Copies of this chain bind each other. A is one copy, B any other.
Amino acid sequence: MKEIAAFEAGIKLGALFHQFIGAPVSHENAEILERAMESCVMLQPHVVHAEVKIDREKLSERLSEFDYCSLGGEMIYARVVVEVDGFKATGILEWDEDRKYPLMKLSIR
């Protein structure tokens, strides 16, 4: 059913955000972190696609004197597609600068 697909997409985005937020990140390990985050999402039930991008500009702005920082909500873009009984739900996580909030959006078909 449609609602189950939507529910499952929501679970994946909530999980991704709260599992990895705070992880030490720099330009050096951003890519391996992106791949690891995607690999974690891909294991979860019903997921057919996962894409994670860490915004390198936001990362640069946040770097500490030690050249890394904690992974923050303002840096994460994620797109997760789940499929349940033929319904595909796509969840997108993206920082909304106006709302100062990691907004999660759903599209379904």
Binding site for B on A (CB under 8 A): 2-26, 28-29, 32-33, 35-36, 39-45, 62-70, 72-73, 89, 91, 98-102, 104, 106, 108
Contact = CB atoms under 8 A, between A and B. Distances in A.
Contacts of A41: 24
A39 to B, nearest CB: 4
Q: How many copies does the complex hold?
A: 4
Contact of A17 (B22, B43, B45): B22
Contacts of A108: 3
B68 A44 contact: yes
11 contacts: A6-B6, A7-B9, A7-B104, A10-B10, A11-B13, A16-B18, A18-B18, A23-B40, A25-B43, A29-B43, A44-B68
